[in-house]
Amino acid sequence: MTAPAGGVLTREDLLERDRTDPLASFRDRFQLPEGVIYLDGNSLGPPSVDMRARIGSLLAAEWGRDLIASWNRHGWFRLPERVGARIAPLLGAGEDEVIAADSVSLNLFKLLAALLRRTGPRRVVLAEASNFPTDLYIAEGLTRLLGGSGTKLRLVAPEDFEGALGSDVAVATLTQVDFRTGRKRDLRRLTAVAKDAGVPVVWDLSHSAGAFPVRLNEDGVEFAVGCGYKYLNGGPGAPGFLYAARELQQALDTPLYGWMGHRSPFDFEVGYRPAPGMRRFLTGTPPILSLAALEEGLRTFEGVDMDALWRKAAALGDLFLRLADERLAGFGFEPASPRDARERGSQVSLRHPEGYPVMQALIARGVVGDFREPDLLRFGFAPLYLRYRDVWDAVGALREVLAREEHQDPRFRRRNAVT
């Protein structure tokens, strides 16, 4: 963010930046509560303005009127592929390389297990100890399930990952953007390094998809998973997605043999024959209501220049860090995210010893972020609905919380189940 001639940034400067923002009109696509600055889209995106109409139509005109005929009449049967095709451009992937299904956890299990079946004597699953816990839990559960074959999980620090790519490693799993700090990993380089060692990598793109341009094909990525409820705005618990490079799909044998992944599900055969392409990764009956909501959330990206989206995301994060330096000095905050926008996703985290009550007090003021142990306040900057003035106002509210010691209120110190 370039400072005005005098070097002092004002709220009026940011109002002008909002007026000239090429993405400003996309804010109108979202339902946002009046008086709330929403900086938690990295955890749960807001609904689109058309979401209610879409779900209402599905309930009334599809399920409510056409009942089971809707599987054919309204294309429910192909909805996982249709939604996957909408996600694909955000990932730099082909439409036939992405499918919407299940959750990040289940999709990660499918890919790790499928890849373990192909790796012969290699039996180690490699992961970083700082990875999102559910990814580690899935890897741990899978290796215990296969423990009799010598399969085991090896956890390393991020800086030790490359050195751990030994001849016994069967598959690795990495997350592109760290959920705590927003630090971004070099997806292209690490994929190439792992390939050179003969190790396929399954990337978790939960904090990447919809937050900035991802170029899976260009970067040589072969496998990835991600969720639909953060930057993709699909709603709480929205289905996840699974990506597999086109040329590798037929060689993958997922261990979860579901009827929707069968080549001819309505032949009701006793034996399993996997469907061609990405449909083989389906398991049970698709959750149509959730998939329809996700499809509607993805419509918010129609006409969006992803490079312009990333430029704004970077500018919002840079602005937040600058204002934090200028307006929060002396209040005990410390940036936990990289200052260089090229090294972070669309998220900035601040450390504070009283992080939890500070965040609760901030939320009470209408500025919504979230908290992660032990001391991180997280702020997501989704460029389609956030304004530059929102960043100014959010930092101002954070300053007021500390200046007035509002976080000392006992009600803000009681821990909620979800932080």
Buried residues in 362-385 as b, exposed as e (16+ CB within 10 A): bbebebbbbbbeebbbbbbbbbbb
Query: Which tokens hold the place of 75?
Result: 């294309």
How far apart are the C-alpha atoms of 381 and 39, rounded to whole Å?
6
For the sheet with 334-335, list strands across it.
334-335, 347-351, 376-380, 370-372
Q: CB-based contacts of 72: which residues, under 8 Å, 6+ apart? A: none
Instruction: Please compute, for residue 416, the number of CA atoms within 13 A of its CA located in the half-sphere on the CB side.
Output: 12
Catalytic residue among 30, 229, 281, 356: 229
Is 40 noted as a catalytic residue in this protein? no
Is 110 noted as a catalytic residue in this protein? no
Is 378 noted as a catalytic residue in this protein? yes
Catalytic residue among 135, 178, 204, 318: 204
* Count of all residues that appear for the chain in the document: 419
- Tell which phi-psi region holds residue 366, choosing left (phi > 0), alpha (psi between -120 and 50) or beta: left
How far apart are the C-alpha atoms of 363 and 4, rounded to whole Å?
31
Catalytic residue among 17, 230, 279, 387: 230
Phi, psi for 221 (deg, rounded to 5): -75, 135
Radius of gyration of the chain (CA): 22
Catalytic residue among 184, 279, 365, 378: 378
Catalytic residue among 132, 179, 356, 385: 132
> Active-site positions?
132, 204, 229-230, 378
